[in-house]
């Protein structure tokens, strides 16, 4: 079976050039509107709970004071300005890997810049991917619950039905994933744009209650609040970070929409709408502190509550959908690069390459989300679990962007440090603030992340050990071809392809075929699949064939980390005759052994992961009736 040749990480969306959308005004504005729905869905639902949870943390459940309102609103506004606008929109989005963005792509750039494929960069990347999964589990739960909780304001009689209704919406959301998101995504942009406009309108309608709230743009209010409230200030700071959850999506989705449309949407609609809504909530609370129970929905008159709850629910479903789709992409690309076992990947669109569905991941996510909703029962309880995953991911991004700025952009280390260090310092403070909530829910993303990092390290290390064991037993291909062509082995008509992860060695399936069947095909192709650290590989670079003799040839097939590998199609596109081609693969039977490089418990974990893996024939799209698997026992 083939093994990835690189350890670069994938990104989460279908790539286009980083300046996609600039070809025409129509396409540019279409991409801008689309980015509003997909990129900003998560951060757009933060006003439902961010200010409320921050003030609850600051006041200890009592009514907020004027100083608290000014301080928290100021912190939220400056978090949006510093973290989202300056860091992500203006700096991080400059780091594109052939048009792609996201933490995994940033890891690939950092590896390329450092000239090596392992070490701390890989560990940072694994942690970042693991925290993304934690975020993907918490986002649907907290977003949908926060929206449905608005029903309690319509009438208290709805309170017992909040959790069951939230569960029903979430189950329905995951149940329709197999049908694809292409049709639904058409409505994401317009609906989310309407959501931002309505949020802005709700905020503006209350500014007149206390226009002095505009003074919250003065950062002195936020600094004074933190210095004067000790632990309560730090707790509030942890909740303030909820206002910027989803900022990673700006960078992660850059390959899908391009820098220009994403930046235009941020400055033209999203940032003004968010700022106006938070200012409006602040002005209302200055005049009516008792409305702290749910300041977002109380911005609107009673007759508009039910429509707002419905619109908020749709907005949170859209935000959740974007995260779920991103999880499918991250998983697919992690499999491509040997970080996770192979799983069945389905295409859900004939035209959109990024539209995929992974059944196993979908149902695992659903189980985890339902567990969180049943365990925590409210968005307020879940808020404590949310911040650590996001802040941890942002700290990792800051570390990686420093490496890229220094080694890839050729900035001097002093300049790179001067630019990046302030963001890293701010995010470390946010991370420390969220760490105070460790026992109140913060353990959730850390537990998820630790489990996933352990699984990824185990799979990566185990795969390396198996490759080394196979190489240790190896028969050099050059030696085997000389022996095979000596005339001592009977040849049969036809062509056979033997997959291998080490092209210089004789594939195990070929050795066993000759040993047990005592025949050799008239033509034998040694196929080695390489995953590049580029999103996609051009068709001209897809296949390289090297003829060794009249009987043997080697084919190296290249796929980008954004691509679903289709081996028969790639070989056929290269002009090779695949009509009667038989594919020979090795099915390994793994046995735990204390003599290998991993502890026995880790050996057993690797074996358990291997048993969940999809067959290589299905993963590489090899027709079942043309695949031959030959077993081999290997100790690990």
DSSP state letters, 152-167: HHH-GGGGGGHHHHHH
Is the domain of 436 the same as that of 491? no
Q: Is residue 1 part of a domain?
A: no
Is the domain of 535 the same as that of 428? no
pLDDT at 183: 54
Is the domain of 60 the same as that of 106? yes
Is the domain of 432 the same as that of 486? no
Burial of 183 (0-12, 13-18, 19+ CB in 10 A): exposed
Burial 362-376 (b: 16+ CB within 10 A, else e): beebbebbbebbeeb
Question: Per the structure, how many domains does the chain have?
Answer: 2
**Closest Cα to residue 344, out of 156, 565, 182, 163?**
565
- Residue 591 phi/psi, 5-degree rounding, is -130, 125
Query: How many Cα atoms are found within 13 Å in the side-chain-facing hemisphere of 19?
Result: 4
Is there a contact between 343 and 5 (Cβ–Cβ < 8 Å)? no
Burial of 211 (0-12, 13-18, 19+ CB in 10 A): exposed
Is the domain of 427 the same as that of 547? no
Q: Is residue 346 part of a domain?
A: yes
Identify the domain boundary among 424, 441, 458: 441
How many CB atoms are located within 10 Å of the residue 483 CB? 13
Is the domain of 214 the same as that of 280? yes
Q: Is residue 557 part of a domain?
A: yes
Q: Is residue 612 part of a domain?
A: yes
Is the domain of 503 the same as that of 424? no
Q: Is residue 166 part of a domain?
A: yes
- Report CA dihedral (113, 114, 116, 122) to the nearest 10 degrees: -90
Q: Is residue 19 part of a domain?
A: no
pLDDT at 116: 62
Q: Is residue 465 part of a domain?
A: no
Is the domain of 110 the same as that of 233? yes
Which residues are 629's β-sheet partners? 585
Is the domain of 525 the same as that of 624? yes
User: In whole angstroms, what is the distance from residue 66 CA to residue 46 CA?
Assistant: 22
pLDDT at 109: 82
In order, the DSSP letters of 165-200 are: HHHHHHHHHHHTGGG-SHHHHHHHHHHHHHHHHHHH
Domain coverage including residue 413 = 25-441
The domain that holds 352 is classified in CATH as 1.20.1740
**Closest Cα to residue 38, out of 350, 397, 315, 346?**
315
Q: Residue 607 in 3-state DSSP?
A: helix
Contacts of 540 (CB under 8 A, 6+ apart): none
CA 396 from centroid of its chain's CA atoms: 14
pLDDT at 68: 93
How many CB atoms are located within 10 Å of the residue 494 CB? 12
Pairing label, strands 356-357, 346-347? antiparallel
Is the domain of 349 the same as that of 392? yes
Structure tokens at 281: 């909530």
Structure tokens at 274: 């968010």
Is the domain of 139 the same as that of 205? yes
**Closest Cα to residue 565, out of 347, 349, 348?**
347
Identify the domain boundary among 441, 460, 489: 441
Is there a contact between 368 and 219 (Cβ–Cβ < 8 Å)? no
User: In whole angstroms, what is the distance from residue 15 CA to residue 258 CA?
Assistant: 9
Question: Which residues of the chain are modeled with pLDDT < 50?
Answer: 1-23, 351
Q: Is the pTM of this model over 0.95?
A: no
Query: How many Cα atoms are found within 13 Å in the side-chain-facing hemisphere of 616?
Result: 21
Is the domain of 437 the same as that of 549? no
DSSP single-letter state for residue 100: B
Which residues are 499's β-sheet partners? 527
Q: Is residue 455 part of a domain?
A: no
Is there a contact between 478 and 508 (Cβ–Cβ < 8 Å)? no
């Amino acid at each position: 079976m083939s093994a990835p040749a690189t350890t670069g990480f994938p990104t989460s969306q279908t790539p286009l050039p980083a300046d996609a959308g600039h070809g025409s005004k129509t396409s540019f504005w279409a991409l801008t509107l689309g980015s509003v729905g997909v990129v900003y869905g998560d951060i757009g639902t933060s006003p439902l709970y961010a200010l409320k949870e921050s003030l609850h943390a600051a006041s200890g459940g009592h009514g907020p004071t004027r100083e608290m309102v000014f301080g928290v609103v100021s912190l939220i506004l400056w978090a949006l300005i510093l973290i989202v606008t300056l860091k992500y929109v203006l700096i991080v989005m400059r780091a594109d890997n052939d048009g792609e963005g996201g933490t995994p792509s940033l890891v690939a750039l950092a590896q390329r810049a450092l000239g090596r494929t392992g070490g701390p960069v890989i560990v940072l990347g694994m942690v970042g991917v693991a925290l993304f999964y934690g975020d993907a589990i918490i986002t649907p739960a907290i977003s949908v619950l926060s929206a449905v909780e608005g029903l309690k304001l319509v009438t208290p009689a709805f309170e017992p039905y909040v959790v069951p209704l939230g569960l029903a919406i979430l189950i329905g959301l995951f149940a329709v994933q197999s049908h694809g998101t292409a049709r639904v995504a058409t409505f994401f942009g317009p609906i989310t744009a309407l959501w931002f406009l309505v949020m802005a309108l709700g905020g503006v309608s209350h500014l007149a209650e206390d226009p002095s709230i505009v003074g919250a743009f003065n950062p002195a209010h936020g600094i004074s609040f933190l210095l004067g409230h000790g632990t309560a200030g730090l707790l509030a700071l942890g909740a303030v970070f909820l206002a910027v959850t989803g900022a990673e999506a700006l960078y992660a989705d850059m390959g899908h929409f391009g820098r220009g449309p994403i930046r235009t949407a941020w400055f033209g609609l999203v940032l003004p709408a968010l700022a106006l809504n938070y200012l409006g909530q602040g002005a209302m609370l200055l005049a009516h502190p008792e409305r702290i129970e749910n300041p977002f929905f109380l911005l609107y008159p009673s007759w508009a509550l039910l429509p707002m709850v419905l619109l908020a629910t749709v907005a949170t479903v859209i935000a959740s959908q974007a995260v779920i789709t991103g999880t499918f992409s991250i998983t697919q690309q992690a499999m491509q690069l040997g970080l996770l076992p192979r799983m069945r990947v389905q295409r859900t669109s004939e035209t959109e390459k990024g539209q995929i569905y992974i059944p196993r991941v979908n149902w695992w996510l659903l189980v985890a989300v339902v567990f969180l909703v049943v365990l925590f029962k409210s968005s307020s309880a879940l808020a404590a679990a949310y911040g650590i995953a996001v802040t941890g991911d942002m700290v990792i991004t800051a570390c990686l962007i420093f490496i890229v700025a220094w080694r890839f952009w050729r900035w001097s280390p002093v300049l790179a440090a001067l630019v990046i260090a302030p963001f890293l310092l701010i995010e470390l403070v946010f991370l420390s603030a969220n760490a105070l909530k460790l026992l109140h829910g913060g353990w959730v993303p850390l537990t998820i992340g630790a489990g996933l990092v352990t699984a990824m390290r185990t799979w990566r290390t185990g795969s390396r050990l198996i490759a080394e064991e196979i190489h240790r037993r190896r028969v050099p291909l050059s030696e085997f071809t000389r022996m095979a062509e000596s005339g001592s082995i009977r040849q049969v008509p036809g062509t056979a392809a033997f997959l291998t992860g080490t092209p210089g060695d004789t594939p195990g399936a070929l050795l066993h075929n000759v040993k047990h069947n005592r025949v050799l095909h008239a033509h034998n192709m040694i196929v080695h699949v390489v995953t590049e650290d580029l999103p996609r590989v051009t068709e001209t670079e897809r296949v390289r064939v090297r003829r060794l003799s009249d009987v043997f040839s080697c084919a190296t097939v290249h796929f980008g980390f954004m691509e679903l590998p289709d081996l028969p199609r790639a070989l056929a596109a290269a002009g090779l005759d695949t009509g009667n081609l038989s594919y020979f693969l090795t099915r390994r039977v793994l046995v735990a052994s204390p003599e290998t490089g991993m502890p026995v418990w880790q050996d057993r974990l690797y074996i358990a992961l291997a048993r969940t893996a999809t067959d290589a024939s299905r993963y590489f799209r090899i027709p079942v009736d043309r695949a031959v698997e030959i077993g081999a026992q290997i100790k690990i």
